[in-house]
Chain A
């Protein structure tokens, strides 16, 4: 029988904490840029102008249909050679996950915006609002509420996807696990603890998301996915 011993993992708790902080840092960065860029992409995609909607659609399709790890490798190994600037693992990861999650957020925004009844647009036009005023003051505030569940789901997916940064040596939580496992020869305990840390953090966010979704359902709010 194997004798479990967690003390070597506990002794390296500082590495785990540093790793978790880096995981949160890359998730937060990609979330902020992803949401902002996602809104821009969605608006471009919904535009009547082919010159705006077509490239936006192309970016969304490419980043939704290629594997995130391929994207990460491309931005880390290929892009720096093309543009001639050094990329740290953090920069490459931030760029990749921002654009990638933007592509998914764009579809969430788009679904939210088109879910708002035409009458709302017509009403706003009738009282003299321009298209962007209608969007800002009437459509988006209502759409955002409907998008919250899909939005939280994407944020959770993003956090799970950030583990890929370990493959380009960014010191996230998974990278810390690799390091500790090699140092202590305790891969079983280390990877089990790290899996549990991920579970606790992500499950907590999932529970909050479900709670919000339930509250929206109770208030009779429809949601988009």
Chain B
């Protein structure tokens, strides 16, 4: 007890934190786009009645949902390069792990959302002469997206939190910079507290947004 908090050594390293923040946002953006778009493809595969789409998509989802992300990241970083003729950067390894993991989780959100649309919508659109792709794009997905929005927002929050795992392969992001500041200034208390506060401040509005979306959805339905 009796520790005297002194954040000046953290504030003196604002530039290092800024570099970390940019790194975090960089990998977050990559994984968000890759994860959610690949998730839609896999989700459609899971929804398909054609075994050639259904089984690979299901195997993908089961594998990536039932193994830890950190194991996936380390596999891409240490194991995959053995099979490839080139090196894998920390950013590439972490992005691959987080994106594929998020794709597997968001695939189930997409599938659930699409399945929640009443069959009558399909029948009606087909009766108007629309093809499968048209029905999906113009009728089903626009309605399903609304129902999926709270879950997808939660996924985005999870992705943001997962980006810290990139520090395990020494990718320069916020937590990695926190480690650096702590070891150079011998101030782990302030350094890690500052990192925790930064993440809380970034994520809290997103969490509130997801609550708001959930409430609105419940009210509308």
A69 on the B face (CB < 8 A): yes
Query: Across the two chains, which residue of chain A brings its CB closest to B63?
Result: A199
A78 touches B189 (CB 8 A): yes
B-chain residues with CB within 8 Å of residue A192 when the two chains form the complex: 75, 79
Contact A70 B195 (CB under 8 A): yes
Stretch at the interface among B36-44, B131-139, B163-171: B163-171
Once the chains bind, are A61 and B207 in contact (CB under 8 Å)?
yes
Residues of chain B with a CB closer than 8 A to A6's CB? none
> A81 and B175 in contact (CB under 8 A), knowing A191-B74, A192-B75?
no
Contact A73 B192 (CB under 8 A): yes
Binds B, one of A123-131, A142-150, A162-170: A162-170
Name the A residues within 8 Å of B66 (CB-CB). Answer: 156, 198-199, 202-203, 206
> In the assembled complex, which residues on chain B have CB atoms less than 8 Å from the CB atom of A36?
none
1/0 per residue B194-221: CB within 8 Å of A?
0110011001100100000000000000
Please give, as numbers and ranges, the residues of chain B lying within 8 Å of A187 by CB-CB distance: 78-79, 82
A2 touches B3 (CB 8 A): no
When distances are taken between beta carbons in the complex, the residues of chain A under 8 Å from B196 are 66, 70-71, 74
Closest to B163 in A: A67
B71–A68 touching, CB < 8 Å: no
Complex interface residues of chain A between 76 and 93 (CB less than 8 A to chain B): 77-78, 81-84
Cβ of A37 within 8 Å of any chain B Cβ, yes or no, is no
A64 contacts B by Cβ under 8 Å:
yes
User: Taking the nearest CB of chain B, how far is it from the CB of A31, in angstroms?
Assistant: 16
B182 lies within 8 A of A77 (CB): yes
Query: Interface of chain B, helix or strand or loop or mixed?
Result: helix
Chain B interface size band reads: 35 or more
Measured between C-beta atoms, what is the minimum distance from A195 to chain B in Å?
5
Q: Which residues of A contact B62 (CB under 8 A)?
A: 203
| Residue B50 is within 8 A (CB to CB) of chain A in the complex | no
Q: Does B1 contact A (CB under 8 A)?
A: yes
User: A49 contacts the other chain (Cβ, under 8 Å)?
Assistant: no
Say yes or no for B12: interface residue by CB 8 A criterion. no
Cβ of A85 to closest chain B Cβ, rounded Å: 10
- Which residue in B67, B74, B75, B199 is a CB contact (below 8 Å) of A66? B199
A198: chain B residues within 8 A (beta carbon): 66-68, 71
20 contacts between A and B (CB under 8 A): A61-B204, A61-B207, A65-B200, A66-B161, A66-B196, A70-B196, A73-B178, A74-B192, A77-B192, A78-B191, A78-B193, A82-B3, A161-B68, A163-B71, A166-B70, A174-B70, A191-B74, A191-B79, A198-B68, A203-B62
Q: Which residues of A contact B (CB under 8 A)?
A: 2, 61-62, 64-71, 73-74, 77-78, 81-84, 156, 159-161, 163-164, 166-167, 174, 177-178, 181, 187-188, 190-192, 194-195, 198-199, 202-203, 206
Additional A-B contacts beyond A83-B1, A206-B65 (12; CB < 8 A): A65-B199, A67-B163, A69-B164, A73-B178, A74-B193, A81-B188, A159-B68, A160-B67, A181-B78, A188-B80, A191-B79, A194-B71
| Top 10 closest pairs, chain A to chain B, by CB | A187-B78, A160-B68, A67-B161, A77-B188, A67-B164, A191-B79, A163-B68, A188-B82, A188-B79, A78-B189
